[in-house]
Structure 1
Amino acid sequence: MSYEVYHIIKKPIITEESQIQTAKANQYTFQVASNANKIQIKRAVETMFPGVHVVSVNTMNCKGKTRRNFRTRQLGKKADWKKAIVTLRAGEKIELV
């Protein structure tokens, strides 16, 4: 497995909403590198999880939230990040947990 694959896909996003998407539409959600495009994400998922065929990839850029420092009460900002929703072929699945 290529070292680059782990730089493209950072981690799966496991929330209540993403679990519903997985059950209904066979879609999985990942946090990915901000500079990754859809073709790189598709290749990374198919390399990381053998036997899986990606039908489509939808991406969105998410803004980082504003947070206040506990000690100094100054405002700060979390980093912006990119989310990818990957749709798999019918009957295929990825074991994330």
Structure 2
Amino acid sequence: AVHAKTGRKVSRKEATLLATAVQKPDLSAQVQQEAAESAAKSAAKAAVAAASSSSAAAPKDGGDDEGEDMEMEAPEPEGAADHSRRPVVKDQLKAKRKAAHRPMG
């Protein structure tokens, strides 16, 4: 799903939460609290798994954490084609009709 105001891609679950927040604000608070609890549980599990796997395999780099949390996004080229839309095709029929009505001379 694509967020209408920002234009960024959001998951279906996040889109549902946003729609619920707009349509039913009282229910939204309860749903967001449950979502936050489940996110905290999954984050804790991921942190434990990452700590156990990285403790043996990761080399020590002196604590340089700059830029590790930033997402790397490829810059969009200026002349890139937009593959999300249909191509504009040449109207052959219009030219054919004009040629048929043109006087032979």
TM-score (norm 2): 0.22
- Larger Rg belongs to: 2
Indicate the structure with greater strand content: 1
TM-score for the superposition, normalised by structure 1? 0.23
- The structure richer in helix per residue is 2
- Name which structure has the greater RCO, CA cutoff 8 Å, separation 6+: 1
